[in-house]
Amino acid sequence: MDAPLKSSHIPALDGRRILLGVTGSIAAYKAADLASRLTQAGALVDVVLTSAARRFVSPLTFTSLTGRRAYDDDDLWGQDAHVLHVSLGRDAELIVVAPATARTLARLATGMADDLLGLALLASRSPLILAPAMDAGMFGHPATQANLETLRQRGAIVIGPAEGRMASGLVGPGRMVEPAEIVGHIRRALGRGRSLSGRRVLVTAGGTLEAIDPVRVIANRSSGKQGFALAQAALDRGADVTLISGPSALATPVGAERIDVETVDQMLAEIQSRLETTDILLMAAAVADFRPSHANEDKIKRGAGAIDIHLEPTADILATVAERRKRSGGPRVVVGFAAESRDLVGQARQKVKAKGLDLIVANDITAPDAGFAVDTNRVTFVDRAESVQELPLMSKAEVAEAVLDRVELILGRQRPAA
């Protein structure tokens, strides 16, 4: 059996050709991190450095990280120069300029092709992401703002700059956004027009909390990782994604609308208000089955000795969704998740029926490499027809891809009737 891919691998970036333009800012050192992340994700990253960028970092830095040649203006006058700038621009599925200095933005806005990066940008019609980095004063200047506006109107995606302290000592907008966030924007841009574009996907993630008193809660071990991976995978396929999450420190995937909730009732209300506009519901949250029938107003004191907490059942969200689907329609595909400690398939079969699901994704929580908090999962699919498919150990990102493959199959089968 194949080992699961490393968590730095990103299926949506695998084999994708990205041109990274690096211009002359101190943030150029962060471009090395970006090149590394993209390469580890599986992308083929070509790098072009301007002459000012070369003063901060060298082509060798990038060659070492990407395993591919990095270019600078010396290449502009080489034997193949006449085709190089065209091929670099044309072959890239996406171009990202990070950091993008005020000068580069000005050159780009006026179509000035006076170096290799300028030529490649002019030769390309691929999506363009710009991550400006400069002093706050330069960023705020009307000339820079006008250039950015021109570029935006031409379709460039401008991300940041972030607020913070700059090399000049000024504090304000001017810092390049972090590489992890740039990767998120690249995924979003590459996802456009892909298999789930135009679909509205609602994902729930993490665990719910129910209060015992103002301090204590009933929680569970869910980390939210599988749900967040599903949201990201749906974004990678071009979907509009809303992520309803229990408390989680995980970063929101770029492009997802995130709604934070704590209790089952809050989660139910947020889902219900979106059912009509949802095409696909992926219910990965670990929803509490019971809650204290009464939350103490004051903190319960220790002196009282043993206490009894009476628990009452919470609303079954998926059962409510199933009711609604029967009555007035609703999401075209509903996927449930089940964490089981025994009789995995039997339980999953029963739940797929009882909860009116199209698919259930079940995992055995007794396995050490699957389930809560870890980055891997070993799941079994059971569909409406009760057919069973066991998947090998995978990263949670790969499980998310497999779930969405099944969702697309289900949607495909529905299409003739729709």
Catalytic residues: 220
281 part of the interface to ligand CTP, by CB under 6 A:
no
User: CB under 6 A: which stretch of 162-170, 325-333, 334-342, 393-401 binds ligand CTP?
Assistant: 334-342
* Angstrom distance (rounded) from CA 222 to CA 284: 10
Three-state SS at 408? helix
Choosing from 89, 174, 238, 336, the residue that interacts with ligand CTP (CB under 6 A) is: 336
Beta bridge partners of 149: none
Minimum distance from residue 293 beta carbon to ligand CTP (Å): 15
Minimum distance from residue 331 beta carbon to ligand CTP (Å): 13
Q: What stretch of H or E contains 280?
A: strand 280-283
Q: Which of residues 55-74 bind ligand CTP (CB under 6 A)?
A: none
Choosing from 264, 333, 344, 370, the residue that interacts with ligand CTP (CB under 6 A) is: 264
133 part of the interface to ligand CTP, by CB under 6 A:
no
Nearer to ligand CTP, 184 or 356 (CB): 356
Nearer to ligand CTP, 45 or 339 (CB): 339
Minimum distance from residue 373 beta carbon to ligand CTP (Å): 17
Minimum distance from residue 284 beta carbon to ligand CTP (Å): 7
314 part of the interface to ligand CTP, by CB under 6 A:
yes
Q: Which pair of tokens denotes residue 141?
A: 């200047």
* Angstrom distance (rounded) from CA 144 to CA 391: 52
* Angstrom distance (rounded) from CA 79 to CA 75: 8
289 part of the interface to ligand CTP, by CB under 6 A:
yes
| Rounded to 5°, angle at Cα 125 from 123 and 129 | 105
Minimum distance from residue 317 beta carbon to ligand CTP (Å): 3
Minimum distance from residue 273 beta carbon to ligand CTP (Å): 16
User: CB under 6 A: which stretch of 34-42, 118-126, 246-254, 284-292 binds ligand CTP?
Assistant: 284-292
* Angstrom distance (rounded) from CA 32 to CA 148: 24
User: CB under 6 A: which stretch of 105-113, 145-153, 247-255, 331-339 binds ligand CTP?
Assistant: 331-339
Q: Phi and psi dihedrals of 340, rounded to 5?
A: -120, 150
Nearer to ligand CTP, 84 or 283 (CB): 283
Nearer to ligand CTP, 86 or 410 (CB): 410
20 part of the interface to ligand CTP, by CB under 6 A:
no
Three-state SS at 171? strand
What is the DSSP secondary-structure string of 222-277? --SHHHHHHHHHHHHTT-EEEEEESS--SPPPTT-EEEE--SHHHHHHHHHTTGGG
238: left (phi over 0), alpha (psi -120 to 50) or beta: left
User: CB under 6 A: which stretch of 12-20, 142-150, 163-171, 282-290 binds ligand CTP?
Assistant: 282-290
The candidate with the shortest Cα–Cα distance to 2, out of 400, 406, 395, 404, is 395
| Cis peptide upstream of residue 99 (ω within 30 degrees of 0) | yes
270 part of the interface to ligand CTP, by CB under 6 A:
no
Minimum distance from residue 337 beta carbon to ligand CTP (Å): 4
337 part of the interface to ligand CTP, by CB under 6 A:
yes
Choosing from 31, 76, 283, 370, the residue that interacts with ligand CTP (CB under 6 A) is: 283
Q: Phi and psi dihedrals of 90, rounded to 5?
A: -75, -40
Choosing from 262, 316, 375, 408, the residue that interacts with ligand CTP (CB under 6 A) is: 316
User: CB under 6 A: which stretch of 149-157, 168-176, 233-241, 330-338 binds ligand CTP?
Assistant: 330-338
261 part of the interface to ligand CTP, by CB under 6 A:
no
Three-state SS at 35? helix
The residues, any chain, with a CB within 8 Å of residue 179's CB and separated by 6 or more, are: 30, 31, 33, 34, 37, 98
Q: What amino acid is encoded at 302 in this protein? A: R
- Contact residues toward ligand CTP (CB under 6 A) are 264, 283, 285, 287, 289, 314, 316-318, 336-339, 351, 355
